[in-house]
Homo-oligomer: A and B are copies of this chain.
Amino acid sequence: MAKIRELDAALSAIADGSKLAVPADYAGVAMEATRALIRRGVRGLHLVTLPASSLQAELLVGAGCVATLETSAVGFGELGAAPRFTAAVLAGTIALKDATCPAIHSALRAAEMGNPFGALRGIIGSDLLKQRPDWKVIDNPFGENDPIVLLPAIRPDVALFHARLADRNGNVWVGRQRDLFTLAHAAEKSVVTVEALHDGDLLADEVIAAATIPAFYIDAVALAPRGAWPLKMLGLYGEDAQHLLDYIALAATEEGFARYLDRHVHRRRAA
């Protein structure tokens, strides 16, 4: 099957109940795809953020798509807190697996290497450990009385992210966003939206190939110009801070959030 598809077709790999891994804002968030998933009504996701998230986790949680959320943080930085995430945690409507950034990196890199676990210094003495019975402390076999945390590998069913370019073979150029390599390697399938299609072979030029994820990791690519909006895309556009501030204010209530969905998700945004 051709790897370049319409957005909804590309997203068919993300079934209800999927373990879905997504990157942080700086790495390229597939927001147009996220809105399409909400329109489709996906349910029961186990959402893993590498390592933190803002509007993507917030909208998916608010729209009831998420059963379990594994994250180091969800928020809008200096712009404010994430209201629907906060409300869901306070109401106990999602299962929250609180993590710390390098733990999610380590667990995904473990999957990338085919290992059953990753290791990580630190954490000991943090109350995070009490909330994560799936994290285990062992005595470093190369030390003496030297406790260290092991984290079970995270193998997502699907990785979903937004990148700048793909070619028609399904090779995807991600530039410096090297975490996306790990996401694609660790996940069984990867679905990618891109700003533009490249008319040639991204692997043909050594300089471009060096930052290109080969097509054999990629299951589907959909064209989505400005597909990270209202989040940023490095070198192309910044985040739409006013939109996010307006969102944060609106989503303070359930109805306000419903109005936001109506306006920006269910009624497709005019370009």
Contacts and interface: CB of A to CB of B under 8 A. Distances in A.
A105 to B, nearest CB: 8
A141 B148 contact: no
Contact of A234 (B141, B206, B211): B206
A80 to B, nearest CB: 30
Of A106, A119, A146, A152, most B-chain CB atoms within 10 Å:
A119
Task: Indicate the size class of the contact surface on chain A.
Answer: 35 or more
Interface in A170-194: 174-176, 178
Nearest to A175: B210
A207 B175 contact: yes
Given A117-B119, A121-B114, A142-B117, A207 B206 contact: no
A208 B207 contact: yes
A209 B120 contact: no
B148 A142 contact: no
B140 A116 contact: yes
A123 interface: no
A50 interface: no
A171 to B, nearest CB: 13
A148 B116 contact: yes
Interface string A103-119: 00010011001111111
Interface in A73-131: 102, 106, 109-110, 113-121
Contacts of A110: 119
A150 interface: yes
A131 B242 CA distance: 63
Interface in A229-259: 234-235
Nearest to A138: B141
B116 A143 contact: yes
A257 B68 CA distance: 65
B175 A206 contact: yes
- Residue with the greatest number of chain B CB neighbours at <10 A, chosen from A121, A206, A210: A210
A113 B142 CA distance: 16
A136 interface: yes
Interface of A: 102, 106, 109-110, 113-121, 136, 138, 140-143, 146, 148, 150, 152, 174-176, 178, 206-211, 234-235
23 contacts: A106-B113, A113-B119, A114-B121, A115-B119, A115-B120, A115-B121, A115-B148, A116-B121, A116-B146, A116-B148, A117-B140, A117-B141, A117-B142, A118-B119, A136-B141, A136-B142, A138-B141, A141-B150, A175-B209, A176-B210, A206-B234, A206-B235, A207-B211
Given A115-B119, A175-B207, A175-B210, 13 more contacts: A106-B113, A115-B120, A115-B121, A115-B148, A116-B143, A117-B119, A117-B140, A119-B119, A142-B150, A206-B235, A207-B208, A207-B211, A210-B211
